[in-house]
Amino acid sequence: MNAVSMNNLWTYLQGLSLTADNWQWLAERAKEKSNTSAQVTSKPKEVKYKISPRRRKLMEKATFNPKDFEGDERAQYILSK
């Protein structure tokens, strides 16, 4: 959420007639949500496939000079991305 949305949400919550117990409950739920989202983001990303060291070495050596592809519009488009 952006800052404006957060301010609108806060204004809405302040407009409700919440008891101290209600505020405590809301704070606990917000804290639980932030803890679970932090745990999810802390997991290492799963790799769909592994690149062999030999292939990685070959990929690192590959260099392209855009001047070599001046006449090829599709190659120019791909290299510009």
In terms of DSSP H, where are the helices of the chain? 3-15, 20-42, 53-61, 73-80
pLDDT exceeds 70 at position 11: yes
- Comparing C-alpha atoms, which of 50, 71, 53, 72 is closest to residue 61? 53
Q: What is the pTM of this model?
A: 0.40
CB distance 69 to 75 below 8 Å? yes
Q: List, for residues 12-69, the tens digit of each pLDDT value.
A: 888 888 888 988 988 888 888 777 655 555 566 777 778 888 888 888 887 777 677 7
* pLDDT for residue 59: 82
